[in-house]
Amino acid sequence: FSNITFFIFGPLMTFLMRPYIQKRSRCIYVLFILFTITGLFSMYFHMTLSFLGQMLDEIAILWLLASGYSIWLPRCYFPTFLGQNRSWYISLIVTITLVSTFLSFLKPTINAYALNAIGLHIVYIVVQEYKKTKNKELRHLIEVSTVIWALALTSWISDRLFCSFWQWINFSYLHSIWHVLISFTFPYGMVILAMVDSAYEMPDQTIRVRYWPRDTWPVGLPYVEMGDDHKSC
């Protein structure tokens, strides 16, 4: 039941970011579909605790990360042998992800390496962009997402290391809290990457960060809104 937020946030983010997606790339629809599928496979895994469920869960996360990575990574971070060609870059990421998916069934630990490699590089890019940007909205997004991610990671680690203690006090919900918090972290990460990408790929567009259900609420679901005006050259 703690995965229910994936089924809510996926379609909701698709609706909220539709104007941006239509101007940037319709491939982003696939990203939100994968986000929802991740919640579905996670639910299946935790219902069955089967090896198949675990593989589906991890592979869905791998493809989700790889999709966002291929769509939004700024060209200045591309490997030099690819130049600035995003089509070649996407082909490279899809090939590597396909190979990792195949190998994960032969050696499941491959998935962990692939997930960590992509995840850590995304963190590196976000840190670099945080240092460079003067955009207060982007800096705020990164700061809030860092806090949510840290809380989620703390819940996961505490559940893994001190499981017997939490069972002893009859509080076995930390992994569920991890699911809910990480389902918030992903939308924040997507909006952060969209904001970073827009500075490189859509410099003439005004991109604003909005929060659902209201901008004035202390916590909300972030999304980007396309401004009606154009930036001056």
Residues of each annotated binding site for Zn(2+)? 46, 175, 179
Residue numbers belonging to the annotated binding site = 46, 175, 179
Cβ-based neighbours of 104, under 8 Å, separated by 6 or more: 55, 58, 59, 62, 110, 111, 114
Contact predicate 3/46, CB 8 Å:
yes
Query: Please, what's the b/e burial string for 9-47 (b: 16 or more CB within 10 A of its CB; e: otherwise)?
Result: bbebbbebbeebbeebbeebeebbebbbbbbbbbbbbbe
Tell me the Ramachandran region of residue 157: left when phi exceeds 0, alpha when psi lies from -120 to 50, beta otherwise.
alpha
Residue whose structure tokens are 């009606």: 228
